[in-house]
Amino acid sequence: MAKKEIRIKIYPDSKIASKIFAESLVDEINEILNKKKYCLISLPTGNTPIDLFNEIIELYKKKKITFKNIYFFNLDEFYPISKDDAQSYNYYLYEKLFSHIDMPKKNISMLNGTLKEKDITSHCLSFENKIEKLGGLDIQVLGIGQNGHIGFNEPGSLRDSITRKVKISDNSLSIISSEFKDNVKVPREALTMGVKTILSCDKIFLLAWGKNKSTIIEKTIKSKITKNIPATYLKTHNDVTFILDKHSSLKI
Ligand code: PGA
């Protein structure tokens, strides 16, 4: 696997980083929409993109962007989980982003945590096929887990993995458990876009804030490409930018 350079941008704090990144993301999307009919994007969930979503909503309100020709593919979802469960990424994305912008519902492709086991493989394949049919992902924004996961591609995930059901690692489970409300059972599995799917995207951005992410950012940047740190696969892509704050970049 050929190693490429990851671009790194460091900002004083996550609020400033999110604001500047939101503006450049909107510019990038508009540029793409000047050249072709649709733009395909994928955004992460979790704590990292909250300010980004708020900034995107502000830019939408200021008419800097319309989402009418944007297709959205979600990165991951717990399995099993109901779409209305407040812990689901489906619920999260509608609450924090989709209900505030003009993206048509038909443009939104979510991994479905409510399916029966037997229907998962075909669901994941049709998710992949839809991306391909629409011409491929243009922009992928990622967060990173403290164990180096991207989406729910946990340590051990292969470079060639596609969208599939996976086991959530103990490390991720313990972090997620602390975010689930008391007595709510944390799903042990998830559906995730694959590493190959992520790497098929034209441009990739990885956002990381806070001291808790400084060790994994250091490892990702300094380590060789390894399945033990799935984020290191990003070094095989030729257009990856890490957007960091001063805390997450402390050790690089
Ligand atoms: P976080 O999660 O944004 O809540 O830190 C990131 C991730 O696990 O990918």
- Give the residue from 196, 198, 206, 172 showing the smallest Cα distance to 186: 172
Atom of ligand 1 nearest to the CA of 212: 5
Whether 197 is covered by a domain: the verdict is yes
Q: Which of the following is catalytic: 77, 149, 153, 245?
A: 149
Question: Which parts of the chain are beta strand (E)?
Answer: 7-11, 39-42, 70-73, 76-79, 108-109, 139-142, 164-167, 189-192, 203-208, 240-245
Q: What is the pLDDT of residue 171?
A: 94
Q: What is the pLDDT of residue 186?
A: 87
Per-residue pLDDT band for 182 (boundaries 50, 70, 90) equals: low
CATH number of the domain to which 143 belongs: 3.40.50.1360
**Tokens 């900002």 appear where?**
11
Full domain range(s) for residue 63: 7-245
Q: What is the pLDDT of residue 47?
A: 96
Report pLDDT digits (tens) over 188-199.
999 999 999 999
154 is catalytic: yes
Task: Look at the chain and report how many structural domains it folds into.
Answer: 1
CA of 149 to the centre of ligand 1 (A): 9
- Give the residue from 93, 103, 89 showing the smallest Cα distance to 38: 103
Whether 92 is covered by a domain: the verdict is yes
Cβ–ligand 1 contact at 151 (below 6 Å) = no
Cβ–ligand 1 contact at 18 (below 6 Å) = no
Q: What is the pLDDT of residue 4?
A: 77
Report pLDDT digits (tens) over 141-174.
999 999 999 999 999 999 999 999 999 999 999 9
Whether 85 is covered by a domain: the verdict is yes
Residue 24 CB burial class (10 angstroms; 0-12, 13-18, ≥19)? middle
Q: What is the pLDDT of residue 1?
A: 62
CA of 48 to the centre of ligand 1 (A): 6
247 is catalytic: no
φ, ψ for residue 99 (rounded to 5)? -75, -5
149 is catalytic: yes
Whether 107 is covered by a domain: the verdict is yes
Whether 135 is covered by a domain: the verdict is yes
147 is catalytic: yes
Cβ–ligand 1 contact at 47 (below 6 Å) = yes
DSSP characters over 74-127? --EEEES--TT-TTSHHHHHHHHTGGGS---GGGEE---TTS-HHHHHHHHHHH
Whether 252 is covered by a domain: the verdict is no
Report pLDDT digits (tens) over 219-251.
999 999 999 999 999 999 999 999 999 999 999
Whether 38 is covered by a domain: the verdict is yes
Sign of CA dihedral 66, 69, 74, 75: negative
* Distance of alpha carbon 157 from alpha carbon 226, whole angstroms: 9
Whether 2 is covered by a domain: the verdict is no
